[in-house]
Structure 1
Amino acid sequence: MKTLIIISHPEIKDSGTQAFLKGALRNLNGVTWHGLDTKYPDYQIDVAAEQKQLVAADRIIFQFPLYWYSSPALLKQWEDDVLTRNFTQVNQDGRLAGKQLGIVVTLGTAAKNYTVGGSEGVSISELMKPFQAVAKQAGMDFLPPFVVDRFKYQTAQQKAHLLFDYQNYVNNPHPATFKGQQDWVIERLRDKASREGDATRQTLLNLTIDQIEQNEAELASLKDQIEMIKRGDDE
């Protein structure tokens, strides 16, 4: 799977959050980090080149800090220039149909405030509705937005969870399902085991894989038993 991450951040060179997220991609294959502010400081966007990258990707992610309940200006300019009606709309040329669209949004205000009744008075899902509408018009599969909640206040443990969750969102073909996450972890462990030079560490990795697969099989069996019981009750 090929993932294109399109980043819009006017102060990206000074952003610890973006540096962390970029570092999280170091060992992932098939992921392209595309910074708009570095590429187009003059806002003169190469439409043909951008469209070519979009066509080559399976998953497209817009990544940005929340600026007044929306994305920074350059990403909006990019949308206006690149996502032309003929190129985008599924009932016309529809070059994006069947692809996935994800959103990674970083917050300076606590995520808990973005709820109906919270201090912001609106949810992140509501704020991301315009992107969801674009995905619908393009015939794309819209992924639930991935929220980075005030990175600079996170503990080491929270950052470790963020690293895993971000990699999963970017690189996992099925990031929203439990089985998809299990299969993705197993695949990554297998890849690491195949490249591990130390025999003891390789053995430990293989044992870990075996345990995860065993747990997965036991869970599937338990689900089957529950379904049988439910069918029996219905009858």
Structure 2
Amino acid sequence: MKTLVIVAHPEIKESSTQLFLKEIAIKHEGITWLELNNASINNVEKNRSLLKENQRIIFQFPLLWYSAPGILFEWLRLNIKQTDDTWLAEKELGIVVNIGQAAKNYRIGASEQNSLSSLLSPLGSLANKLKMKLMPYFLIEKFEYLDEQKKKRLMIDYLQYLDLDQPISFEERQLWVISRLKKLVEVSKNDKLQLILNNVVEQKEKLDELKNEIKLIREAENNQY
């Protein structure tokens, strides 16, 4: 999967959230990181080339005044045409959005009175107009309050959102982790990483055996009737 991450943030160098995500994304093959600014939004030839080269397009931004930052819509105005559905069709569009408060506030009857789905619906309409496949949005809430363990979890979830088909099954998550660990072990020759890899593989094998046993039991029960 080749993924283009288009980052719209008015003060990106001051954003701990975007710096964290950037550090993760730029280290992995198949992911292109594009920060929007006055220069990049006007480089139409390069932008359209990137859109054609990548199968998954990600719009990434903080929610500002209940919408994406204006620079994203300016980039769309300059770089996308309605007739582009001829080659954008069947590409995937994902949305990574970070908010500074709890997600539970964004629903009918809560403090913000609107759901995130309704606030992000203009981008959903764009995907529909261009015949793109809209992925479920990826939400990051209150990043500044996350501890190290939660940041590690976010790192894995974020990379899998960029890399894996949606929706992601538990088995696909397991295989993804094993694949990543194998690459790290090959490069680093780290004994501790090898032990972690061995443990993950062992746990997956045990889970697969348990699933097979449950399947056989169910088949046996069904054959009794």
TM-score of the alignment, normalized to the shorter chain, above 0.5 = yes
Query: Equivalent residues in 2 for 1:63-82 (5 A)?
Result: 63-82=60-79
Give TM-score, length-normalised by structure 2. Answer: 0.89
Task: Compute the displacement of 1:108 (Å).
Answer: 1.7
Residues 1:106 and 2:103 aligned together: no
Quick one: structure 1 residues 132 and 228, their matched pair in 2 at CA, closer, same or farther if it must change by over 3 Å? Answer: farther
In the superposition, the TM-score normalised over structure 1's length comes to 0.85
Aligned residues: 225
After TM superposition, give the deviation of residue 74 of structure 1 in Å.
0.8
Identical counterparts, % of pairs: 36
Q: Is 1:214 aligned to 2:211, yes or no?
A: no
Which residue type is aligned with residue 32 of structure 1? T
2:7, 2:60 within 8 Å by CA — same for their partners in 1? Answer: yes
Contact 1:186 1:212 in 2 (8 A): no
Change (3 A) 1:7 1:195: same
Q: 1:183 aligns with which of 175, 189, 193?
A: 175
TM-superposed CA distance for 1:197, in Å, is: 2.1
Give CA-to-partner distance per residue, 1:27-55, whole Å, 9 cap, x none. 31111110002644xxx622222111001
1:56-205 matches, within 5 Å, as 56-87=53-84, 89=85, 94-174=86-166, 176-198=168-190, 200-201=191-192, 203-205=194-196
The C-alpha deviation readout for 1:120-175, integer Å capped at 9, x for no partner, is: 11111222222222222323221111111011122222222211211111123446
In structure 2, the CA distance between the partners of 1:215 and 1:79, relative to structure 1 (3 Å rule), is: farther
Change (3 A) 1:34 1:204: same
Distance 1:171 1:18, change over 3 A: same
- In structure 2, relative to structure 1, the CA distance for the partners of 1:138 and 1:224 (3 Å cut) is farther
Residue 32 in structure 1 maps to residue 32 in structure 2: yes
2:209 partner letter: E
> Is the 2:6–2:59 Cα contact (8 Å) retained in structure 1?
yes
Letter in 2 for 1:101: L
Instruction: Summarize the Cα distance change of 1:219–1:123 in structure 2 as closer, same or farther, 3 Å threshold.
Output: farther
Whole-Å Cα distance in 1 between the matches of residues 194 and 57 of structure 2?
Answer: 36
Q: Is the 8 A contact 1:193 1:205 kept in 2?
A: no
